[in-house]
Structure 1
Amino acid sequence: MKIIIFGGTGFVGLNLAEVLLARGHDVTLYDRADLPPSAGRALADHGARLKVVRGDITDAMGIDALIAKGVDAIVLGAAITAGDELERVSTARVLEVNVMAQIPILLAAIRHGVRRVVNLSSASAYGAAGQRFEILDEETPCDPVSFYAISKFTSERSVARHAELFGGDFLSVRLSAVFGPWERTGSVRDTPSLQFQILAAFGRGEPATVPGSGMKDWIYAPDAAEAVAVLLEAERPRHRLYNISCGAAWSALKWGEAFAALHPGLQCRSAAPGETTSIKLHGPDRAPLAVARMANEFGWRARFGCAESAAAMSGWWMKHRENV
């Protein structure tokens, strides 16, 4: 297929590009940001099957012209992943990019006969419901609180409503706490994973002191990318919304300890009471996402747990540690 990933040079976009290219698809990355040099080198063997287009997600005319050239599938991955600080200074921009900018893309997809659109949403859409339920499935009533969570939930409803009105084959996925290769912070992302922060401390030659256990149903980015690829390739998905998660909570602290054990001299530990640490937790604990829908319909389950992802990330880090 010919696939456009909006937000394609970002963290999740690059992982998805790697998976899709390996599965034989042609991929266009549309983003304001350049392709990181290390990623460009890693993807160079794919040649002309990978294209990078610089552009703003709000450029409706330019995006329409790009889609008009012929596209089989679109991934809506451009988003401002905002914590409290970024929300305070960019409230309108969060809603503009995460919701409103998608509408011209959806309409262009309908006009030009795009086969499928997958919207990358977030487990944050469950909001306060994450503290009221023991597990969160796709039918759990949502209670989004932050502007980021509100924007992701609204994007899901917008995508579904466009499909109902115009007959498009559009769906959304709720990604759990994603970490892994190509993660980085920037002007549109101020909530780095604990794993990213742990590796950043290692890169500075410091012990990684974690202010809590960091229990979440973490999902290794290549696993998340493979799940999205399955949905892009599926002939006829039965639902408009799918959770993507490892399905069970485990500790980022234990992950850091497992990573450090592979590199003599590195140390990851809990911060002592009152100890200052640069590593920050983002958001309250929440229940894990149910993954039965993806498993039952497509046979997909995450391959990387705590130890497996630490080992895989260790190999990647040794090659690309200048990106962390």
Structure 2
Amino acid sequence: MKIVIFGGTGFVGLNLAEALLARGHDVTLYDRSPLPPAAQRSLLDFRERFRIVQGDITDAAGIDTLIAEGWDAIVLGAAITAGDDLERASPARVLEINVMAQIPILQAAIRHGVRRVVNLSSASAYGAAGQRHQVLDEETACDPVSFYAISKFTSERSVARHAELFGGDFLSVRLSAVFGPWERAGALRDTPSLQFQILAAFARGEPAIMPGPGLKDWTYAVDAAEAVAVLIEAERPRHRLYNISSGAAWSALQWGEAFAALHPGLHCRLAVPGESTVIKLHGGDRAPLSVARMADEFGWRARFGCAESAAAMNAWWVQHKEGI
């Protein structure tokens, strides 16, 4: 398949590109940011089926020209992943990039006959409902609160409405608490995962001191990418919305301890009363996402739990430590 990933040089985009290239597809990454040098080296073996197009997600004319080349699938992955500080600074920008910038892409996809569009949404769309339920499935009524959550929920509805009006084969996925290879903080992403912050502390030669356990259904980025790849390849998905999650809750503290155990001298622990920490929690605990829909329809389940992802991330980190 020929696949273009908007926001492709970002964290999730790079993991998805690796998964799709490994499965034999041709992949183009569209992004304003260049490919990190380490990722350039990592993807060198796929250079015959891989390219980068640098451009702005708001360049409707340029995007239409790109989509006119003909594609089997488009992934909508460009987004501002905003915490409170970024939302205070630029709420309009969050909505512009996460919702409005998608509309010209969807309309170009319809005009040029793109078979499948997958919108990368977020578990944040559940919002306050995450504190009122034991498990969150795709039928759970959402209650988004933050501008980021509102934008993600709205993007899902926009994608679904375009499909209803114009007959497109479009769907959304809600990604839960993703962490792993190629994650980096930046101007458009001020909510790095706790695992990223733990590794950053280790890279500085410091202990990772946690302000709290950080309990979530953490999802290793490799698992998330494989699930999205399954949906891109699926002949006829039965739904327009799918949860993607490890399906089980465990703490980032537990993960940090497992990672530290692989390196004598590294330590991950909770802060004692009155002790400051540079590691920040983003959002409170919430119920885990149900993955029954993905499991029942496609037989997909996450391969990496806490210990498995710590071991896999360790192997990646040894090779790419300079990227942290």
Q: TM-score, normalised by structure 1?
A: 1.00
- Cα RMSD (Å) of the superposition? 0.4
Q: Which residues of structure 1 form unaligned runs of 5+?
A: none
> Partner letter of residue 83 of structure 2?
G
Question: Aligned residues: percent identity?
Answer: 83
Equivalence for 1:212: 212
Mapped to 2, the partners of 1:274 and 1:72 lie a distance apart of 55
Mapped to 2, the partners of 1:125 and 1:273 lie a distance apart of 33
Mapped to 2, the partners of 1:323 and 1:191 lie a distance apart of 17
Q: SS in structure 2 opposite 1:96?
A: helix
Q: SS in structure 1 opposite 2:263?
A: coil
> Partner letter of residue 82 of structure 2?
A
Equivalence for 2:65: 65
Q: CA deviation at 1:105?
A: 0.3
Tell me whether 1:46 sits opposite 2:46 in the alignment: yes
Q: SS in structure 2 opposite 1:171?
A: strand
Deviations 1:257-293 (A, max 9, x none): 0000001111111111110000000001110000000
Q: CA deviation at 1:209?
A: 0.4
Equivalence for 2:159: 159
Mapped to 2, the partners of 1:47 and 1:126 lie a distance apart of 39
Q: SS in structure 1 opposite 2:311?
A: helix
Mapped to 2, the partners of 1:93 and 1:28 lie a distance apart of 25
> Partner letter of residue 158 of structure 2?
S
Q: SS in structure 2 opposite 1:248?
A: coil
Tell me whether 1:15 sits opposite 2:18 in the alignment: no
Deviations 1:186-224 (A, max 9, x none): 010000000000000000000000111111000000000
Deviations 1:130-158 (A, max 9, x none): 00011000000000000000000000000
1:1-324 matches, cutoff 5 A: 1-324=1-324
Question: Which consecutive segments of 4 or more residues in structure 1 shift more than 4 A?
Answer: none
Deviations 1:55-110 (A, max 9, x none): 00000000000010111100000000000000011111100000000000000000
How many pairs are equivalent?
A: 324
> Partner letter of residue 64 of structure 1?
D
Mapped to 2, the partners of 1:105 and 1:48 lie a distance apart of 26
Q: CA deviation at 1:167?
A: 0.1
Q: CA deviation at 1:314?
A: 0.1
Q: TM-score, normalised by structure 2?
A: 1.00
Q: CA deviation at 1:48?
A: 2.2
Mapped to 1, the partners of 2:233 and 2:143 lie a distance apart of 31
Deviations 1:21-41 (A, max 9, x none): 000000000000000000000
Mapped to 2, the partners of 1:278 and 1:48 lie a distance apart of 42
> Partner letter of residue 260 of structure 2?
A
Q: Which residues of structure 2 form unaligned runs of 5+?
A: none
> Partner letter of residue 225 of structure 1?
A
